[in-house]
Structure 1
Amino acid sequence: MATAGPAAAARHHEGEGTYVESRSGTAVSGPAPAEPVSVPALLARARTLCTPPLRAAVAGLVAPMDTVAAYHFGWIDRDGTPVSGDSGKAVRPALAVLSAQAVGAPAQAGVPGGVAVELVHNFSLLHDDLMDGDETRRHRATAWTVFGPAQAILVGDALATLGTEVLLDAAVSGGADAVDAARAVRLLTTATRRLIDGQAQDLSFEHRDVVTVEECLEMEGNKTGALLAAASAVGAVLAGADDRVADALQRYGHHLGLAFQAVDDLLGIWGATEVTGKPHWGDLRQRKKSLPVAAALAEGGAASRRLAAQLADPQGRGEESEQVLAARAALIEEAGGRAWTQGEARRQHKTALAALDEVPMADAVREHFVALAEFVVVRER
């Protein structure tokens, strides 16, 4: 297993999803490498490796849960007709596969981990859509609006438990050592508990007028960072990585998750519906205390005080017009919430990359981790 040097200090785009690094920290002169990292190819590889076992796991659910889950994943329409829909970016499976390669194992060794984290991630999406009242995801009706709230709850529960089964089956099938499979299960279940903690914190924030930036970061570290941390280490754990390596990969994933959520918070206010597939002003309608809101409230200036007064006004807790929501978004931006969150995404991205320096790995694998981190902070959906 080759030992790589320090993480890239500077990078620039070479077309969609492609990145070229400068190891000196300055602009690279001369031609680009012959084979630059393609993030779409990394994500496509993860889908190719993980989708067949993911489909097999879902197919084992009793009817109609198998149908509801298949619809949610974008494999069928509401009538059961197969479709080639958008089933998500596959960032988590890609990280799981890469983490196995980080310790010199083949990509296939990380597949059970990739499937498991994708099952848990989609459990959270099914429940979040229902709790938040979201009627669209990935440019079509959410599962609870099509099949009813009860089915969305049951299928979410089933997907969460399936993740554990997939990891334990990896030991039974001979794909992983039993001890390592048990370590992977603990990694996943701890992340799942923290994810649920984060969702509970998020919901509680909606009933408060003010949430601090520190509270918001703690919530997002649980709700998003915990599962991305697990995804970034689970393949390595299945391949027998020691705790030092696994911990460093988890730190990479945790900070990557915070960067990811910071960008998500920006899109939740300013993202275009036709790009994100989510309702316009969705987070503002739900009065979510996301990072831009928390940062704007903490600023303390005139715009910050006007925003605080709006959020504290009980008359505004019903259905609010597009004009009111647009004005609120403008106040958040005026108070610096948008700029602060953009900076936080960059800070968390930098910290994530620093964690990679603690893991000896092949240069090509490191470049893939770096490219995925770049993808997380430079996206529109």
Structure 2
Amino acid sequence: MTALAPATAPPHVLARCRKLVRPALETAVGRLHPWVGEMAAYSFGWCEVGGSPADVPGGKGVRQALAVLGAEAAGAPAERGVPAAVAVELVHAFSLLHDDIMDGDATRRRRPAVWRAYGTGPAVLAGDALFALAVQTLADAPGGPGAVRLLSAALADLVRGQADDLLFAERPWTGVSAREYRVMAEHKTGALLGCAVALGAALGGASETTVDALDRAGRQLGVAFQLVDDVLGIWGDPAVTGKPVHGDLRERKKTYPVLAALGSPAGPRLAELLDTPGRTAEAAALIEEAGGRTAALAEARRHTARAEALLAGLPPASASASASASASAELRDLLGFLVRRDL
């Protein structure tokens, strides 16, 4: 098999967790300065520029769902994971605001990015405010100090991964190894996914061993998630992904399909195409022919299997073994959906 199984409908858990977390997230954003709060609400799809109400489809709510399921996996009520869910959603929104500025991406979810809608300076300010609000949200929760330490460590890794990703673009095409890529992906994407489920578990009273195992599972999921993103960034349908066709190639991103293909006999020809403006379609075809797409999906399966093994090894929480087992099953279901989306 050279591809992951076709995508299925989003699991019910995403909608369940969004419904649970949304009121608390709105309350948190409501504590911001009104102008900054408007930019935050715009980034979540709740309003238009100027503040008029909107209902623009936002993200899937993956991180908040992981936080809620982390609490349930610890045998705690879902509500115990809500502060963690709010915090990781705020951090994710903060990272997207700053990522769009750094990458020069003018659109986000099929409408102007915050920096295009409000200006670069205001968007930076809004991102900073979301970050501060995330820390405050966790600090105010029961068990907050330990949770803040988990979040701080994840943020340090996220910044490290983002820095590597930006620096990779300045290197020659053959100047990034597959190992360097995996470390970057674990930090840039995996750190926050691992932190989300670990934070929920920590607030739910899980043992340190369980919290650590869930963090590692989330990080493996993050690498798989990034690998699928790499495939979609080259071959995904723009109407579905919201990304321009071959956008990652034009931005000289050292994605896994590119790195794998560069290591094949077609590497020199591919490097020449990638360095020639207007040849991205030919480059994409050569990457697929050289096995780059197949290699990326195979690597995603390997990281998915590692995440599933970590989840399977979790001991059921003694407080509520049946609820804990159900949450673990939903985590595995969510993992499967995330690495098969839109393929």
Q: Could you tell me how far apart the structure 1 residues matched to 2:130 and 2:156 are?
A: 14
Q: Quick check: 1:213–1:298 contact (8 Å CA) kept in 2?
A: no
2:331 is aligned to 369
1:23 is aligned to none
Structure 2: gaps (5+ residues): 317-323
Question: Which residue among 113, 117, 125 is the counterpart of 2:96?
Answer: 125
Structure 1: gaps (5+ residues): 1-11, 18-38, 171-175
Instruction: For residues 228-281 of structure 1, give each alpha carbon's deviation from its aligned partner in whole angstroms, at most 9, with x where no partner exists.
Output: 000111111012222111111111101011111110111111111110112221
Q: Is 1:229 matched up with 2:194?
A: yes
Give 1:353's aligned amino acid.
E
1:50 is aligned to 21
Q: Give the alignment of 1:267-346 within 5 angstroms.
A: 267-299=232-264, 301=265, 303-311=266-274, 313=275, 316=276, 320-321=277-278, 324-346=279-301
Question: Which residue among 297, 309, 314 is the counterpart of 1:354?
Answer: 309
Q: Could you tell me how far apart the structure 2 residues matched to 1:187 and 1:338 are?
A: 34
Instruction: For residues 201-226 of structure 1, give each alpha carbon's deviation from its aligned partner in whole angstroms, at most 9, with x where no partner exists.
Output: 00001111121111111111100010
Q: Quick check: 1:269–1:282 contact (8 Å CA) kept in 2?
A: yes
Q: Could you tell me how far apart the structure 1 residues matched to 2:204 and 2:294 are?
A: 41
Q: Could you tell me how far apart the structure 1 residues matched to 2:150 and 2:171 are?
A: 32
Q: Quick check: 1:126–1:153 contact (8 Å CA) kept in 2?
A: yes
Kindly indicate whether structure 1 or structure 2 has the higher relative contact order, using CA contacts under 8 Å at least 6 residues apart.
2
Q: Quick check: 2:71–2:200 contact (8 Å CA) kept in 1?
A: yes
Cα distance, 1:79 vs structure 2: 3.4
Give 1:198's aligned amino acid.
G
Q: Is 1:98 matched up with 2:98?
A: no
Q: Quick check: 2:158–2:188 contact (8 Å CA) kept in 1?
A: yes
Cα distance, 1:309 vs structure 2: 3.1
3-state DSSP class of the match of 2:140?
helix
1:201 is aligned to 164
Give 1:120's aligned amino acid.
V
Q: Is 1:185 matched up with 2:148?
A: yes
Q: Quick check: 2:168–2:253 contact (8 Å CA) kept in 1?
A: yes
Q: Could you tell me how far apart the structure 1 residues matched to 2:182 and 2:103 are?
A: 20
Q: Is 1:379 matched up with 2:341?
A: yes
Give 2:263's aligned amino acid.
A
3-state DSSP class of the match of 2:34?
coil
Cα distance, 1:188 vs structure 2: 0.8
2:48 is aligned to 77
1:21 is aligned to none
Give 1:213's aligned amino acid.
A
Q: Could you tell me how far apart the structure 2 residues matched to 1:277 and 1:77 are?
A: 19
Q: Quick check: 1:140–1:277 contact (8 Å CA) kept in 2?
A: no
Q: Quick check: 1:262–1:345 contact (8 Å CA) kept in 2?
A: yes
Give 1:271's aligned amino acid.
G
3-state DSSP class of the match of 1:81?
coil
Q: Quick check: 1:46–1:97 contact (8 Å CA) kept in 2?
A: yes
Q: Quick check: 1:245–1:358 contact (8 Å CA) kept in 2?
A: no
Q: Give the alignment of 1:213-252 within 5 angstroms.
A: 213-252=178-217
Q: Give the alignment of 1:51-66 within 5 angstroms.
A: 51-66=22-37
Q: Is 1:138 matched up with 2:109?
A: yes
3-state DSSP class of the match of 1:89?
coil
Q: Quick check: 2:38–2:50 contact (8 Å CA) kept in 1?
A: no
Q: Quick check: 2:257–2:292 contact (8 Å CA) kept in 1?
A: yes
TM-score by length of 1: 0.83
Give 2:121's aligned amino acid.
A
TM-score by length of 2: 0.92
Whichever of the two has the greater Rg, that structure is 1
> CA RMSD for the aligned pairs?
1.7
Give 1:56's aligned amino acid.
T
1:29 is aligned to none
Q: Could you tell me how far apart the structure 2 residues matched to 1:246 and 1:375 are?
A: 23
Runs of 4+, deviation exceeding 6 Å: none
Q: Is 1:169 matched up with 2:140?
A: yes
3-state DSSP class of the match of 1:64?
helix
Q: Could you tell me how far apart the structure 2 residues matched to 1:363 and 1:194 are?
A: 30
Q: Is 1:111 matched up with 2:82?
A: yes
